[in-house]
Amino acid sequence: MDVTLSVFDLIKLGIKFIAYRVQQYYLTTNEHEIVNTLCGRVKGVKRKTIYDKFYYAFEGIPYAKPPIGELRFRAPQPPEPWKHVLDCTNCRSKPMQKHMTLKFIEGSEDCLYLNIEKK
């Protein structure tokens, strides 16, 4: 699928992206929560919705080993356990794909992560 956007559309998209990032910044608090998983402890961040409700976001929790090298094109393998508290306050890389407007390849094959939100 090939999408062609005008310069005006690209500017609108850019403004919306910047507004989203600013909004996300202001809705994130300095409060964190650490929870236990089968592979180790993870740290999430408390955020507020635009409706003034609070939740904890845990982003980038590994659910499988990265499918690179010998694991490429094979069934997912369980992740290696970790001993430290894993910082899961930001998203990890997205799957490899062609950028819709700029046409370059972005992302990574190392993309087997979960984003979990809890009240």
Q: Which two tokens stand for residue 26?
A: 């202001």
DSSP for residue 70:
G
Domain positions in the chain are 7-118
With 0.85 as the threshold, say if the pTM is over it.
no
- Report residue 106's pLDDT band, with 50, 70 and 90 as the boundaries: confident
What residues contact residue 59 under an 8 Å CB cut-off, 6+ apart? 44, 88, 89, 90, 91, 92, 113, 115, 116
- Over the stretch 84-100, which tens digit does the pLDDT of each residue have? 999 999 888 888 888 77
